[in-house]
Amino acid sequence: MKFFIDTANLDEIKEAYELGVLDGVTTNPSLMAKEGISGEDQVNAHYKAICDIVDANVSAEVIATDFDGMVREGKALAKIDDKIVVKIPMIKEGIKAIKYFSSEGIRTNCTLVFSAGQAILAAKAGASYLSPFIGRLDDISFDGLDLISQIVHIYQNYGFETEVLAASVRHTMHLVKCAELGADVVTCPLKVITGLLNHPLTDKGLAQFLADHAKANK
């Protein structure tokens, strides 16, 4: 299972990368705005800065919603660095753009996916990654994990090569359940990755080991 970090914050990306378990970075326009990044030059420089931190792929999202615009922006993003994966929204023009990039050998991440039907379309168009947003489905009382299970099953039925990248992962149990269901990748905030470390018995056991060692070595 691959771990991607879902942020545009350079310090968090560095921290996750230094842990040694990071396989990629995903961003979106909201995450870029949260870091105060705006304007094409600043945005491109920020993507380059992310690519310079990690030896891993970096999803960069287009803003255009028409085919020509997505192709123009996606090509420019892909030129920034070989690590860039062009993130395209799940809309009609987006499917055409994914098909185009797939035929050009440019990797894509189809984002804003909320149904199995959308997942089938994206795979047929040749998306490299598919991003179903599980937390946002949970928010409206649909089970996001059920969607992951459904998509993994469908992709296995037909041997689709598109990787299921569970997104909008909000907590550690989302991540663990995605692993059980066979998602290829999860993307999540740093706190979800570091949250996997936590267990009170680990803390208690370590405190006891250190206390016993100190007593024996007085």
Known active-site residue 99: no
109 binds ligand G3P (CB under 6 A): no
The residue among 186 and 201 lying less far from ligand G3P, judged by its C-beta, is: 186
- Subset of 138-167 contacting ligand G3P (CB under 6 A): 167
The residue among 15 and 138 lying less far from ligand G3P, judged by its C-beta, is: 138
136 binds ligand G3P (CB under 6 A): yes
Shortest Å distance, C-beta 31 to ligand G3P: 6
Q: What is the DSSP string of 100-143?
A: HHHHHT--EEEEEE-SHHHHHHHHHHT-SEEEEBHHHHHHTTS-
86 binds ligand G3P (CB under 6 A): no
- Helix (H), strand (E) at residue 60: strand 57-61
Q: What burial letters (b/e) apply to 98-117, b meaning 16+ CB within 10 Å?
A: bbbbbeeebbbbbbbbbebe
Kindly list the residues in this chain that would bind ligand G3P in the complex (CB under 6 A): 6, 26, 28, 131, 133, 135-136, 167-168, 170, 187
